[in-house]
Structure 1
Amino acid sequence: MATDSAERLLDVREIDGPPFDDIVAALDDLGADERLRLVAPFEPAPLYEVLEERGFDYESERRSGDLWHVLVREA
């Protein structure tokens, strides 16, 4: 029986200043069965290496123009 994992949303367009600390805090708060959907006005390419180093998988999708969605979950 499959269970749906909960999804948390972090829209970094609403953050004043660099969003890195907010992203790391959101990752630290994720439960084992949760995912984080990151919404950004740019492709957060520098974040990908950090995610891999911390044991997360991710899927990036350019939605339109400069709108990116990155779905992050534990590897």
Structure 2
Amino acid sequence: MKPKTFKILDVRPLLAEGTEPFAAIRERVDALTPGHGVTVIAPFLPAPLIELLKSEGFESSMERRADGAWAVNFWRE
């Protein structure tokens, strides 16, 4: 069942300053507790991240936002 609580991590500011956001994403994902998920907001669909986390047992859903960014939800069942 998809969690009801998602914390948002907007990586666009990190990317704009030239910082690789994977460490911040990993920190949030590793800290998830049952019933919680994380929503990553990115200017592009982070397909490699989706595949990586899928291989680690995470579920995901995604949607294109009105501002053109992608919102990708990650959680574990």
TM-score range, shorter chain: 0.7 to 0.9
TM-score by length of 2: 0.82
Question: Any residues of structure 2 matched to 1:2-17 within 5 Å, and which?
Answer: 5-15=4-14, 16=17, 17=19
The residue type paired with residue 33 of structure 1 is G
Alignment of 1:23 with 2:25, yes or no, is: yes
The residue type paired with residue 56 of structure 1 is F
Residue matched to 2:63 = 61
Unaligned runs of 5+ in 2: none
Unaligned runs of 5+ in 1: none
TM-score by length of 1: 0.84
Report % sequence identity. Answer: 35
Moved over 4 A (4+): none
Aligned length: 72
Give the whole-Å Cα distance in 1 for the aligned partners of 2:67 and 2:25: 22
Residue matched to 2:72 = 70
RMSD: 1.6
